[in-house]
Amino acid sequence: MRAASPGLRAAVILVALVLVAPTLVVIPMSFTAGTTFSFPPDDWSLRWYREFVTDPAWRTAIFNSLRIAVAVAALSVVLGTAAAIGLVRATFRGTTVLRALLLSPMTVPNIVTAIAVYVLFLRWQLNGTYLGFVLAHTAVALPFVVISVSSSLQGFDRRLETAASSLGASPWTVFRRITLPLVLPGVLSGAVFAFVTSFDEVVIALFLQSPTLTTLPVQMYKSVTLEIDPTIAAASSVVVVVVSLLILLPQLRAARRLVKENPA
Amino acid sequence: MSTTTFGQGTRIEISHLTKRYPGTVVPAVDDVSVTVAAGEFMTFLGPSGSGKTTTLNMVAGFTDITSGRIVLGDEDVSGLPPHRRDLGMVFQQYALFPHMTVEQNIAFPLKQRKTPAAEITRRVAEALELVHLSEYGKRYPSALSGGQQQRVALARAVVFAPRALLLDEPLGALDRKLRSTLQDEVRRMHRELGLTFVFVTHDQEEALALSDRIAVFNAGGIEQVGTPEELYLRPATLFVAEFLGESNVFHGTLDRARRAYHWQGSTWSAPSAASDVDGALLVRPERLQLNVDSAAVPAEHNGLSVRVVSDIFLGTHHKVELRMPDGSTGSAMVPVSAARDFRPGDLVHASWAPEDQSVVAVPAGGPGDVPGAAPRDGLAPPASRSATAAH
Amino acid sequence: MPPRPARRHVPRVLLFLPALALLAVAFGLPLLQIVLRSFTDPDVGLTNYTAMLDDGITTTVILRTLRVAVTVVVLALLLAYPYAYVMSIASPAGRAVLTTLVLLPFWTSLMARNFAWLLLMQDGGPIQRFFSLFGLDVVLLGTTVGVTVAMTQVLLPFMVLPLYSSMQQIDRRLLQAAQSLGAKPRTAFRKIYLPLSAPGVVAGCTLVFILSLGFYITPALLGSSQQSLVAQLLAIRTTALLDFAGAGALGTVLLVITGLVLAVIGRFARPASSLAAATGGVK
């Protein structure tokens, strides 16, 4: 393959900068000693990191976000995997409609979902509750699980199950020992998607939140609009660094493997 | 179909062509020279990694040349980009444009050449007729079978009257039966069009069936160029002999002065030998005669005693597997008419006429390393690198 | 999870029920309720819709939102296409780097990224100071231009990933074939590569367009109430004015626009699936 031309290279470097660079501004900001967003900071300190980990409002928000995201990941993996198996294996008509229904939360603008859920949950008194958050976030996360599991099921040789049955395995054993291990990568990536979707979700959360139940993104939003306090810079930096490490580590390992295989 | 519509043969002269990829020591193609005559059907035959496809890609212009020259007719095209070489090319996986109909695919090269619309229509129709697909012009490639797709690819590659047609394993993706039908088609097109064809394949039967001449590639170089008969009957190297058909191989020493070949205590007459050096003596299985009675062996024959391992009936022939005195194996093809029952364990006389044997060079890597293996980063090159055999 | 070897129909249907039940409670019913409400509250009829047309604001906001969404789509496509193209032809190592650079913002907190733009665009911030070097006074915070710039950057991964996923499937030999048939490299790109990458273009544009239509956080943080987008208007109607029926009407309009876009596009591509395939594939 011929290499990209110089013009194309320059364009790619530019776009790469556009993708990554703006976000990095939060890192120097987080080390400010001042109490405003004045950038670049005049003096440096770690005070906003201390604030981030000691302030009860922030601590509770992190804890709530984790608690909700774990529940959402678990719930949407169970429901989504079952539905994906049903979709791929269905013999009756109408699976296209079912599939469209299952994926529909992806195609409805977030803000519309948010106000709709807010209005109905207000009547059901689910606003500001753990259950309300988990239900609403699971609805948004479910499509990701359905897609990743059904795509891993599509490449799955059903004769393996027939073979297992013929060797005396009960249907439950076939599922546990054959089907599940083979679609596990799809299930896991669906779980990760669901977790992140919930952990990062801010629009629906802004509507469902209450003074007693706030998630991390909501706390960040409030801190920008109401408190105007650099703690959010520390919070953002932590989130950015943690996510970057989570993504970079497997990539680095893959890169090292690549280098090992082609030493030249 | 007139030969002028779809172009005519142009001579292709490849001289001292070398391709060295950055960061590698051994060149992928090493000093290859061969000339394809105008209108000739030339096949590049060799195992994968032997450099045949790289050579073709350099001719087509897809791969940059490290050194050497490619001349089409009188024009040196070595530095020319692919779209200005005027060479038709047929790819292994068809490479039909999926978003265009059959007609649009075939019209594509004509449009690139700003051919008037009326002429495009006429020539597309002619090209479709040439490959017997006139009914299929409005279809999309995905609605055609593999064989039909390959015929569209052929029509597309010749419709603009290219200087020559390059075919890169064009039949590799097809099943056996379809492949033989399309071989007939390719041969017919070559005959009707009079175009120069350069055909790349790793399938020796296909090469023998189609070609005027074959260039056998191995480890980045050409081992031998010749007609199918020459290559089969007078292989220049052990590699050529073993790549094209089966052989019984005897690794011994040649005594040129006495025109004799010594092997395991036997001395055979060797009236002519292709190689100057110690090498291997080869006999094709169908040239081997088996006799139980030593008196039946013709006097002028070379021969030895061998043990029968098995006897397999193949319809027209018996294939008799043999064990030589040194423990190596060999085989003989015995016509059914001449056959008698050989039982495993029988001791028989195997013999052949001296003119049916070939004595060839063995590469420095020694015997046993040669057949098929020839990795790209492999052995020292065999004896003759740039073969320009008689036509 | 119930096991399913093919005996009867019933257990298979049961596999869908839990997921559908949850979607009904936390997605379907809420939407249905709010749409119904827009036609029935306070009276049965189109009151809420006629009010929306007459208030002099809503139509302006909808048109502004559509304009912003189209601009974001065009800008994102211009930036993403060459990037995705190079991703698809790069060496494995180069591709890994480029993929990581798209996934970083894709996974990074939306709030953090919007906050970063706030820092960059604020009064006396880095962007203003950079342009003042050339004697320009650039105000982005609180303007539609600022919102458009930030939205383009935030949504860029959603354009790159579907593009890359469709470009990856293009057989590169088709370009060689085109060149062997006499097409210049540029012509080969225009006539072969561009049309074959169209499904990815359609998928990416649809995805980014729909996300832009309902984008809330960026305009809420970086825009202004004088130049608000539909999402801001919806939020205000709902939480500040408690005009659920009016919000429902506006939400319904947004749903209808989205539905129309998807219905037209649905013939060519499946944006949601292609994004999921892309992100799932590079994870």
Domain ranges of chain B: 3-230, 252-361
| In the predicted structure, residue C280 carries a pLDDT above the cut 80 | no
Residue C185: closest C-alpha in chain B:
B83
Number of domains in chain A: 1
Q: Which residues is B334 bridged to in the sheet?
A: B318
| In the predicted structure, residue B388 carries a pLDDT above the cut 70 | no
3 state DSSP class of C26 = helix
Q: Which residues of B touch C (CB under 8 A)?
A: 60-62, 81-89, 91, 93, 95-99, 108-109, 112-113, 156-157, 160, 166
Strand residues in C105-166 grouped as ranges (E):
none
Rounded CA separation B314/A264 (Å): 50
pLDDT, tens digit, 9 for 90 and up, residues B2-21: 444 566 689 999 999 999 99
8 Å CB contact of B62 and C185 = no
Chain C residues closer than 8 Å to B60 by CB: 176, 180
Average pLDDT, chain A: 86
pLDDT, tens digit, 9 for 90 and up, residues C33-63: 999 999 988 888 888 898 888 888 899 999 9
Q: How many residues in chain A?
A: 264
- Give the closest of B83, B91, B99 to C182, CB-based: B83
Please give, rounded to a whole number of angstroms, the shortest distance from the CA of C77 to a CA of chain A: 11
pLDDT number for residue B369:
39
Chain C CB within 8 Å of residue A83 CB: yes
8 Å CB contact of B160 and C185 = no
Q: Which residues of C touch B (CB under 8 A)?
A: 171, 173-174, 176-185, 187-188, 191-192, 195-196
Chain A residues closer than 8 Å to C221 by CB: 221, 224-225
Residue C93: closest C-alpha in chain A:
A255
| In the predicted structure, residue C131 carries a pLDDT above the cut 60 | yes
Confidence band of B364 (pLDDT split at 50, 70, 90): low
Chain C CB within 8 Å of residue A74 CB: no
What order of strands is seen across the sheet that includes strand B260-263? B253-255, B260-263, B266-269
For residue C219, is it left (φ>0), alpha (ψ between -120 and 50) or beta? alpha
| In the predicted structure, residue B336 carries a pLDDT above the cut 90 | no
Helices (H), B61-169: 102-112, 117-130, 146-158
| In the predicted structure, residue B391 carries a pLDDT above the cut 50 | no
Q: What integer is the mean pLDDT of B62-79?
A: 92
Please give, rounded to a whole number of angstroms, the shortest distance from the CA of B229 to a CA of chain C: 33
pLDDT, tens digit, 9 for 90 and up, residues C159-213: 999 999 889 889 888 999 999 999 998 999 999 999 999 988 998 998 899 899 9
Residue at A117 is within a domain: yes
8 Å CB contact of C176 and B62 = yes
| In the predicted structure, residue B232 carries a pLDDT above the cut 80 | yes
Q: What integer is the mean pLDDT of C101-112?
A: 88
Q: Considering only CA atoms, which of A157, A237, A156, A149 is closest in space to residue A193?
A: A149
Contact A207, A56 (CB under 8 A): no
Rounded CA separation A251/A244 (Å): 11
Q: What integer is the mean pLDDT of B120-135?
A: 94
Helix pair angle (C144-167, C198-213), 10° resolution: 150
Give just the sign of the alpha carbon dihedral B32, B34, B40, B45: negative
8 Å CB contact of B156 and C181 = yes
Q: Which residues is B35 bridged to in the sheet?
A: B13
8 Å CB contact of C171 and B157 = no
- Give the closest of C180, C191, C192 to B60, CB-based: C180
Q: Considering only CA atoms, which of C229, C222, C226, C39 is closest in space to residue C140?
A: C222
Higher-pLDDT residue of C250, B9: C250
Residue at A1 is within a domain: no
Chain B residues closer than 8 Å to C181 by CB: 83, 88-89, 108-109, 112, 156-157, 160
All partners of chain C with 3 or more CB pairs under 8 angstroms: A, B
pLDDT number for residue C274:
54
pLDDT number for residue A156:
72
8 Å CB contact of A121 and C117 = no
Give just the sign of the alpha carbon dihedral C161, C165, C167, C172: positive
Rounded CA separation A188/A191 (Å): 5
Confidence band of B375 (pLDDT split at 50, 70, 90): very low
Which two tokens mark A79? 């429901």
| In the predicted structure, residue C142 carries a pLDDT above the cut 60 | yes
- Give, as one character, the DSSP assignment of residue A4: P
Contact B39, B8 (CB under 8 A): yes
Chain A residues closer than 8 Å to C124 by CB: 38
Give the residue numbers spanning the domain of A193.
Answer: 51-261
What order of strands is seen across the sheet that includes strand B357-361? B248-251, B279-283, B357-361
The architecture in CATH of the region B3-230 reads: 3-Layer(aba) Sandwich (3.40)
pLDDT, tens digit, 9 for 90 and up, residues A192-222: 889 989 999 999 999 999 988 999 999 999 9
Confidence band of A240 (pLDDT split at 50, 70, 90): confident
| In the predicted structure, residue B377 carries a pLDDT above the cut 50 | no
Please give, rounded to a whole number of angstroms, the shortest distance from the CA of A25 to a CA of chain C: 6
Confidence band of C270 (pLDDT split at 50, 70, 90): low
pLDDT number for residue B108:
93
A60, containing H or E segment = helix A56-89
pLDDT, tens digit, 9 for 90 and up, residues B25-67: 889 999 999 999 999 999 999 998 899 999 999 999 989 999 9
pLDDT, tens digit, 9 for 90 and up, residues C59-93: 999 999 999 999 999 999 999 999 999 998 888 88
Chain A residues closer than 8 Å to C4 by CB: 85, 89, 171, 175
pLDDT number for residue B274:
52
Chain C CB within 8 Å of residue A241 CB: no
Please give, rounded to a whole number of angstroms, the shortest distance from the CA of C110 to a CA of chain A: 7
All partners of chain B with 3 or more CB pairs under 8 angstroms: C
Rounded CA separation C15/C6 (Å): 13
Rounded CA separation B275/C26 (Å): 85
Residue B127 CA: distances (Å) to CA of B6, B110, B161: 9, 12, 11
| In the predicted structure, residue A2 carries a pLDDT above the cut 60 | no
- Give the closest of A8, A113, A202 to C111, CB-based: A202
The residue type found at C210 is I
pLDDT number for residue B52:
94
pLDDT, tens digit, 9 for 90 and up, residues A42-70: 889 999 999 899 999 999 999 999 999 99
Domain ranges of chain C: 45-278
| In the predicted structure, residue A92 carries a pLDDT above the cut 50 | yes
CA atoms within 13 A on the CB side of B285: 18
Residue at A194 is within a domain: yes
**What superfamily in CATH does domain C45-278 come from?**
MetI-like (1.10.3720.10)
Q: What is the dihedral of CA B346, B348, B350, B351, to 10 degrees?
A: -170
Lookup result for tokens 């179909």: B1
- Give the closest of A25, A189, A225 to C280, CB-based: A189
Query: Considering only A208-217, B119-128, C265-274, which range has the smallest mean pLDDT?
Result: C265-274
Chain A residues closer than 8 Å to C283 by CB: 189, 192
CATH of B252-361, one of 3.30.230.70, 2.40.50.100, 3.40.50.300, 3.40.50.1970: 2.40.50.100
Residue C27 makes CB contacts below 8 A (sequence gap 6+) with A104, A105, A108, A113, A116, A117, A139, A140
Give the phi and the psi of residue A52 in degrees, each rounded to 5.
-60, -45
Higher-pLDDT residue of A167, B200: B200
Residue B232 makes CB contacts below 8 A (sequence gap 6+) with B208, B244, B245, B284
Chain A CB within 8 Å of residue C231 CB: yes
8 Å CB contact of C180 and B93 = no
| In the predicted structure, residue B378 carries a pLDDT above the cut 50 | no
Q: Considering only CA atoms, which of A16, B387, B61 is closest in space to residue C180?
A: B61
